[in-house]
Homo-oligomer: A and B are copies of this chain.
Amino acid sequence: MKNIPVILMGCGGVGRQLLQQIISCRTLHANMGIHLRVVGVCDSTSYVLAPDVILAGFDDNFLKGLCQIKSDGLPLRNCMEHGTCESGSSSEFMTKLTDIAAHLHFVLVDCSASSETTKVIIEVLHLGCCAVLANKKPLTGSLEEFDKLFLHPRRIRHESTVGAGLPIIASTNRILSSGDTIVSSLGSLSGTLGYVMSEVENGKPFSEVVKTAKELGYTEPDPRDDLSGMDVARKALILARLRGIRLEMKDIKIYSLFPDKMGPDAMSLEDFLKNGLPMLDDDIEERIKKASSNKNVLRYVCIIDTKDISVSLMERPKDSALGRLKGSDNVVEIYTEQCYSDKQPLVIQGPGAGNNTTAAGVLADILDLQDLFS
């Protein structure tokens, strides 16, 4: 039985779901000859560590208790009541991780949303450990950091950074390793903006659709976090860098769905929803009509060609994969020189958000590293 030590950073929705899935997959993974031994967990303020990380790990009852504590909104140190463990602040943990990496070959899993994890991930990778990321931030920092993360590309996996568990990264890597050249990747990589753009197409005003999406919990608490296109741009940058396109976030042309004067610095959320948003309706309506007269539909799309990334509203043919998109699905169309032509791209579509599917992507990534463990 292969014993793979796992250390988890971030135990919000995705991290908690991951721990639960690890527990519920015990028999399945044992049949595959694998035991995932969780030895440490941290959140944004504190950590817990198993007393003997080299030989043992947390038992499943402890992990269940930990999930319950986090789901109750309590701090991690409350775990001390559930079993023996070491605890401390999350900043101490970062130092501790490199100490552990010198003695233990483990998988560091980043399910946080922090930009502070990059340094420690690079350090443990350098010491021979592996990393699995659901967190986009480490991959969208400087190119220098990106290069360090991919110095040993087999040790790092990050499927859930783009389209949650959808096999977009794995498929892109397969295309690249077969020597085919990707000419362009087109994607609708925001479930929120996908939903909004397919609903406005049916004649509803943009402002109403955004408000409904917010009520349904499809948007961030401040919908401008979605409407700015920044999240889509991060995903696009990851896909581009994977293909060897050397760009920084600042190089991306991002079309925000609201003007600067309605930004969070200039307008309160309440004011934006009540007064700002409705002022955008006419422009969107006009663009939809124009698209329709061209037999197209309007989509919020990222396009990564051979050199550039653009993230913006764009007309797409009604009968293309992007044009047919409904609801909150994500979709990518990949065009290559050899296998996937203009008329027959590779299309991958499905739900691109949610704790379940994001955690599933992380877990599949961890299992995919198994050959690097003895």
Contact = CB atoms under 8 A, between A and B. Distances in A.
Nearest to A20: B179
A171 interface: yes
Contacts of A74: none
Contacts of A170: 167, 170-171, 174
Interface string A22-52: 0011001100100000000000000000000
Given A167-B171, A171-B170, A348-B348, A343 B327 contact: yes
Interface stretch (A62-70, A230-238, A264-272, A364-372): A364-372
A363 B329 CA distance: 31
A262 interface: no
A307 interface: no
A228 to B, nearest CB: 25
A91 interface: no
A180 interface: yes
B347 A347 contact: yes
A246 interface: no
A177 interface: yes
Nearest to A360: B178
Interface residues of A, number: 51
A338 interface: yes
A349 interface: yes
Given A171-B167, A174-B167, A344 B364 contact: no
A343 to B, nearest CB: 7
B367 A177 contact: yes
A364 B177 contact: yes
A350 interface: yes
A165 interface: yes
B347 A177 contact: no
Given A28-B177, A338-B360, 18 more contacts: A24-B179, A29-B179, A32-B153, A165-B174, A167-B171, A174-B364, A175-B360, A177-B368, A178-B364, A180-B360, A327-B343, A327-B344, A328-B344, A329-B344, A338-B356, A339-B350, A339-B360, A371-B371
